[in-house]
């Protein structure tokens, strides 16, 4: 087992860990999560761990439980390959999405990531709108986003796809490669430095497992062929896993996401849609929504071909989704506040002396 430094441990993490060190706990990093049964990299090797009852009570929300990539404070059990997790160190970054369904609840996909590789296939499943959504989430994570266009060997319009992706990436690096043929992998070298953590995110069938196999230099991650009709694949990766690479970097493999629902603030749109924001500076109204307002510079750009209509449509869709999320979160916060005061009132009534 490599020392903690190979897992990304640094003087900053040492500083954050000081209170736990004083309590007699040891550091470890979550390598996989199987329904709150964790595998953890430690100086003693890989241990199986579960959270303590106190941490389970204090965590409350699912987003506060350990996730793959987290640094945790734990106590190994003497003579066993097991441990108890007592705390989660403050995260340097977190890639989150809204849980599936109607609940306005955060799901943390990966933590303490330096670079997020947003993987999209260049086959028939290529979808710029999905890339925009992923970029919006990644920009809010605290990690550096990078777009990886895989399956370049299957694309006969590569230059066009590259230009299309670079136009919506807003300065985020874009790399096209063919992991199956081990072509273009060297473009990722600047992100694969010792101790650096990458996370691979994308829908099922885009080639994440094939890319990891290429980075490892061996066929470790199981892969499946996608359907030829629509280039969609079934999930190969079934759980998140932190994998050390030969050069000293680490990569978090994640299952393909059927839903990538937004979990960010509405003002996060600026970075992902900087082109629309720049055009909006010339709108006739400062609060123009680019819908039906007169003298709208954004809709004028669509009319004369400077801005793709699909780009503006995506902007409206994502903005509406974020505003709906904000409203739902506000409603839940108000409901929680009401429940808190009702509980306080009940406690006060119980404490009042009864009159005889």
Q: Which helix (H) or strand (E) holds 150?
A: strand 144-150
Report yes or no: 115 and 196 within 8 Å, Cβ to Cβ. Answer: yes
Q: Which residues of 232-271 are buried (b: 16+ CB within 10 A; e: fewer)?
A: bbeebbeebbbbbbeebbbbbbbbbbeebbbbbeeebbeb
Separation between Cα atoms, residue 199 and residue 97, nearest integer Å:
14
Cβ-based burial of 160 (10 A; exposed 0-12, middle 13-18, buried ≥19): exposed
Domain boundary among 194, 229, 253: 253
pLDDT, residue 59, reads 77
Is the domain of 165 the same as that of 236?
A: yes
Report yes or no: 155 and 143 within 8 Å, Cβ to Cβ. Answer: no
For 197-208, what is each residue's pLDDT tens digit? Answer: 999 988 878 888
Please name which of 168, 188, 117, 185 lies closest in space to residue 312, comparing C-alpha atoms. Answer: 168
Average of per-residue pLDDT across 341-347:
74
Is the domain of 121 the same as that of 15?
A: no
pLDDT, residue 26, reads 95
Please name which of 274, 267, 272, 273 lies closest in space to residue 326, comparing C-alpha atoms. Answer: 267
pLDDT, residue 67, reads 94
Tokens read off for 226: 């996608």
Separation between Cα atoms, residue 112 and residue 246, nearest integer Å:
20
Tokens read off for 308: 């793709």
Is the domain of 44 the same as that of 166?
A: no
Tokens read off for 101: 């369904």
Is the domain of 122 the same as that of 22?
A: no
Give residue 329's pLDDT band: very low, low, confident or very high (50, 70, 90).
Answer: low
For 255-304, what is each residue's pLDDT tens digit? Answer: 755 556 555 655 567 678 888 999 999 999 988 999 999 999 999 999 99
Q: Is 319 helix (H, G, I), strand (E, B) or coil?
A: helix
Is the domain of 36 the same as that of 70?
A: yes
Phi and psi for 278 in degrees, rounded to 5?
A: -65, -40
The answer as to whether 356 is a domain residue is no
pLDDT, residue 260, reads 60
The more confident residue out of 6 and 2 is 6
Number of other CB atoms surrounding residue 4 within 10 Å: 20
pLDDT, residue 207, reads 84
The H-assigned helical ranges of the chain are 11-22, 53-59, 128-139, 158-169, 208-216, 269-272, 274-280, 297-303, 309-351
Is the domain of 84 the same as that of 147?
A: no
- Domain residue limits at 171: 94-253
Report yes or no: 207 and 126 within 8 Å, Cβ to Cβ. Answer: no
The answer as to whether 260 is a domain residue is no
pLDDT, residue 114, reads 95
Tokens read off for 214: 């290429």
Is the domain of 193 the same as that of 99?
A: yes
pLDDT, residue 1, reads 41
The more confident residue out of 255 and 142 is 142
Domain boundary among 69, 88, 107: 88
- Mean pLDDT over the full length of the chain: 84
Give residue 233's pLDDT band: very low, low, confident or very high (50, 70, 90).
Answer: very low
The answer as to whether 330 is a domain residue is yes
CA atoms within 13 A on the CB side of 79: 0
CATH for 292: 1.10.40.50
Report yes or no: 120 and 150 within 8 Å, Cβ to Cβ. Answer: yes
Is the domain of 121 the same as that of 183?
A: yes
Separation between Cα atoms, residue 87 and residue 17, nearest integer Å:
10
Query: At which residue do the structure tokens 């470890």 appear?
Result: 28
* The length of the chain, given as a count of residues: 356
Is the domain of 136 the same as that of 198?
A: yes
**Percent residues over pLDDT 70 in the chain:** 83
The answer as to whether 162 is a domain residue is yes
Report the predicted TM-score, pTM, of the whole model to 2 decimal places.
0.79
Separation between Cα atoms, residue 196 and residue 9, nearest integer Å:
10
Number of structural domains in the chain: 3
Window from 60-74, 98-112, 164-178 with minimum mean pLDDT: 98-112
DSSP state of 279: H
Say what angle helices 309-351 and 128-139 make with each other, to 10 degrees.
40
Is the domain of 156 the same as that of 198?
A: yes
Please name which of 262, 265, 122, 260 lies closest in space to residue 203, comparing C-alpha atoms. Answer: 260
pLDDT, residue 98, reads 66
Q: Is 117 helix (H, G, I), strand (E, B) or coil?
A: strand
DSSP state of 282: T
The answer as to whether 223 is a domain residue is yes
Is the confidence at residue 35, as pLDDT, over 70? yes
Domain boundary among 70, 88, 106: 88
Window from 38-42, 55-59, 67-71 with minimum mean pLDDT: 55-59
The answer as to whether 288 is a domain residue is yes
The answer as to whether 197 is a domain residue is yes
The answer as to whether 166 is a domain residue is yes
Is the domain of 206 the same as that of 295?
A: no
The more confident residue out of 256 and 147 is 147
Tokens read off for 329: 């979160």
CATH for 56: 2.40.50.140
Is the domain of 116 the same as that of 240?
A: yes
């Amino acid at each position: 087992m490599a020392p903690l430094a190979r897992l990304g441990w640094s003087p900053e993490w040492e500083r954050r860990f000081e209170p736990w060190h004083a309590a007699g706990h040891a550091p470890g990093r979550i390598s996989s999560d199987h329904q709150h049964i964790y595998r953890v990299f430690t100086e003693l090797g890989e241990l199986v761990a579960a959270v303590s009852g106190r941490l389970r009570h204090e965590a409350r929300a699912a987003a506060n439980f350990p996730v793959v990539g987290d640094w945790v404070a734990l106590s190994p059990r003497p003579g066993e390959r097991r441990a108890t997790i007592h705390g989660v160190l403050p995260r340097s970054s977190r890639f989150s999405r809204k849980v599936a369904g109607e609940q306005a609840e955060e799901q943390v996909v990966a933590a303490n990531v330096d670079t997020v590789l947003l993987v999209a296939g260049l086959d028939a499943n290529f979808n710029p709108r999905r890339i925009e959504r992923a970029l919006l989430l990644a920009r809010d994570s605290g990690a550096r986003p990078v777009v990886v266009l895989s399956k370049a060997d299957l694309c006969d319009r590569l230059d066009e796809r590259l230009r299309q992706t670079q136009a919506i990436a807003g300065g985020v690096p874009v790399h096209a490669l063919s992991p199956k043929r081990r072509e273009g992998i060297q473009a990722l070298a600047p992100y694969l430095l010792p101790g650096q953590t990458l996370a691979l995110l994308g829908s099922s069938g885009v080639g994440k497992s094939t890319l990891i196999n290429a980075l490892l230099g061996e066929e470790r991650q199981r892969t499946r062929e996608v359907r030829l009709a629509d280039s969609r694949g079934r999930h190969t990766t079934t759980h998140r896993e932190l994998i050390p690479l030969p050069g000293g970097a680490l990569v978090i493999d994640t299952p393909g996401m059927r839903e990538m629902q937004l979990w960010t603030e509405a003002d996060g749109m600026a970075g992902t849609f900087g082109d629309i924001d720049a055009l909006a500076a010339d709108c006739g109204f400062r609060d123009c929504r680019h819908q039906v307002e007169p003298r709208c510079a954004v809709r004028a750009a669509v009319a004369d071909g400077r801005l793709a209509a699909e780009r503006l449509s995506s902007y409206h869709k994502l903005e509406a989704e974020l505003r709906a999320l904000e409203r739902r979160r506000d409603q839940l916060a108000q409901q929680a506040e009401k429940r808190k005061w009702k509980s306080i009132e009940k406690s006060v009534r119980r404490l009042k002396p009864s009159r005889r």
